[in-house]
Structure 1
Amino acid sequence: MKILNITLCSLLLLLTGCVSQYSITEKELEGYLSDEMHFEIKEGNQVFGIELKVNDIDVILGRKANTMSVTAATLVKVRNPLLPISADLTATFEAQPWYDASNHSVYLRNLNLVRFESEPKHIEKAIGSIAPQLMGFLTQFLETQPVYVLDTKKSNQALMAEMTKRIDVKPGKLVLVFDE
């Protein structure tokens, strides 16, 4: 009986140690965003319209305190009979990630556009007039969709999901915090 108690206590301590160190890496966030977030807008008709599609998302955590940097590479096509435009846009946002315990998800708030580039470069002036609308679509999307969801069907993540109260941003990772 004593051996069983010692074994159970050791196992509990081991599990507690593993649980207290759980984090989500930049690569895990990028993988989730690539697999789960499909951002595409098509508006207008065959003559006048706009298409916007996010092709790639990069994440940097903790370069600034409590900040997640999200860079979205986006393909933009503007249809019009006078000057059709096709460009690759790169927009970098900084935001504060936060954890919603009710649905076990990480969201972004206070998005701030910090860099905007286009390729080809000479398109920037033409795109400049519609850039605020395009960035508005992307900002709205990133603020309303989770950027990561703990998978409660996996036993280890289900346990983490129930125990997590908030997250801390550290360089290269989001650390799940279990106490207030």
Structure 2
Amino acid sequence: MIKHLLIIATLLVLTGCVSQYSITEKALANYLNNEIHFEVKEGNQLFGIEMKVNDVDVRLGHKTDTMAIEAHSTIKIRNPLVPIKAQLTAQFEAKPWYDANTHSVYLRDLNLVKVESSPKEIENTLKSVAPQVMSFLTHFLATQPVYVLDIKESNQALLAEMTRRIEVQPGKLKLIFKE
């Protein structure tokens, strides 16, 4: 009983403090860059493809309820005639949503918006493998959380218990505590 009263008192005190809690674009990008490691290796010694995501940028609210993700990757295509190494930038848009059970932000309705390569001269060559590579990356982003509240840290644990959904605003994801 006393424990419940303490929790309620703490929630009342903190409600004013955390009612505006949000996750910034920078926090999302940092989480993705530090926690999510995406690497694909397909094929054999002669023919194959390797892709590794090196850096991720995030934009929130540039469109209603939308998160944009720009993934900068290194891609290597092995073949005996013309091996290729390039930098690939893929831009996705998705609708973020909060899973209260796992205290995680996920993406749904993920769409590939744009793919660019460097050097530009090999863009036509990459078009033949881009759908397969983008399929791997799209599936990865659609099934992995893009942010998880750390329930081992007391403030985030409290936020995790209180949060019911998120709302996309320019530059941030606002945590909504009540339905």
Q: TM-score range by the shorter chain?
A: over 0.9
Amino acid at match of 1:73: H
Q: TM-score, normalised by structure 1?
A: 0.92
Quote how far apart the aligned CAs of 1:13 are. 5.0
Q: Tell me: CA distance 1:12–1:72, structure 2 relative to 1, closer, same or farther (3 Å).
A: closer
Distance 1:51 1:177 in 2: 40
Name 1:113's counterpart in structure 2.
Answer: 112
Deviation at 1:91, TM superposition (A): 0.6
SS in 2 for 1:176: strand
CA-atom RMSD in angstroms: 1.4
**Runs of 4+ off more than 6 Å:** none
Give the distance between the partners of 1:53 and 1:162, measured in 2 at CA.
35
Structure 2, unaligned runs of 5 or more = 1-7
Higher mean alpha-carbon deviation, 73-82 vs 38-47, is at 38-47
1:27 counterpart residue number: 26
Task: Give the number of aligned pairs.
Answer: 172
User: Larger C-alpha radius of gyration, 1 or 2?
Assistant: 1
Amino acid at match of 1:18: C
Structure 1 gaps of 5+ residues are 1-7
What SS does the aligned partner of 2:145 have?
coil
1:36-64 Cα distance to aligned partner (Å, 9 max, x none)? 00000111221111100000000000010
CA distance in 1, matches of 2:13, 2:157: 18
Matched to 1:173, the amino acid is K
Query: Structure 1 vs Structure 2: percent identity of aligned residues?
Result: 67
Residues 19/85 of structure 1: CA separation in 2 closer, same or farther (3 Å cut)? same
**Partner residue, 1:167:** 166
TM-score normalized with structure 2 length = 0.93
